[in-house]
Amino acid sequence: MSRICVFLLISVLFDSALSISFFLPVNSRKCLREEIHKDVLVTGEYEVSEQPNTKTNLKITDSSGHILYSKEDASKGKFAFTTEDYDMFEVCFESKSPMGTGRVPDQLINLDMKHGVEAKNYEEIAKVEKLKPLEVELRRLEDLSESIVNDFAYMKKREEEMRDTNESTNTRVLYFSIFSMCCLIGLATWQVFYLRRFFKAKKLIE
């Protein structure tokens, strides 16, 4: 049981932070996507290496195309927003340069994103609420526990939705199978009567 708890704790901490570096070719666009729960604080820092005659734009949107953060000619900065619903969020860097591809070196992008417990500034909370170090750690553990409970609740909800979908699909398949059998039986019966009339008309049977 203790191993499972430790594994779950590590998984939550790992999933709540994303640090990545990549090269962005000139006049190209690269995006990162991540699913985040509802009412979750998301913070991030980015740094773009400078290149002459090159402008890099940063845009963060949800699946509906709503812009949560936008920065033209981004070089270095921070962003923060709170999710309104469980959704897929997209972070896009776009490089533009009149020099053309191959004439300007690729830009190095450093992106550090945090959400949930990792995104909260507990040092600032301690200063505002005048908390002791032990109280800060307790607050952090409380928030982490709440995050784990919310994850379990979300997984349970998804499981129920998938079970309802499976049951609904099974019911539809059953009804469709019964309908198909009825159609086949009806078609076979019609063929028997049709052939019987046909053979009677040809006087092959009485």
- Check residue 59 and give its pLDDT: 94
Contacts of 51 (CB under 8 A, 6+ apart): 26, 97, 104, 105, 107
Is the pTM value of this prediction over 0.75? no
Tokens 């972070």 appear where?
A: 91
Q: What count of residues does the chain have?
A: 206
Q: What pLDDT was estimated at residue 166?
A: 92
Distance CA 17, CA 69 (A): 19
Question: Among 121, 168, 155, 113, which Cα is nearest to 140's?
Answer: 121
- Is the pLDDT assigned to residue 186 strictly greater than 90? yes
* 98 band by pLDDT with thresholds 50, 70 and 90: confident
- What's the whole-number mean pLDDT along residues 52-71? 90
pLDDT level of residue 9 (50, 70, 90 thresholds): very low
User: Which tens digit of pLDDT belongs to each residue from 113-132?
Assistant: 888 877 777 777 778 788 78
The pLDDT value recorded for residue 177 is 94
**Once rounded to an integer, what is the mean pLDDT over residues 183-199?**
90
The amino acid at 98: P
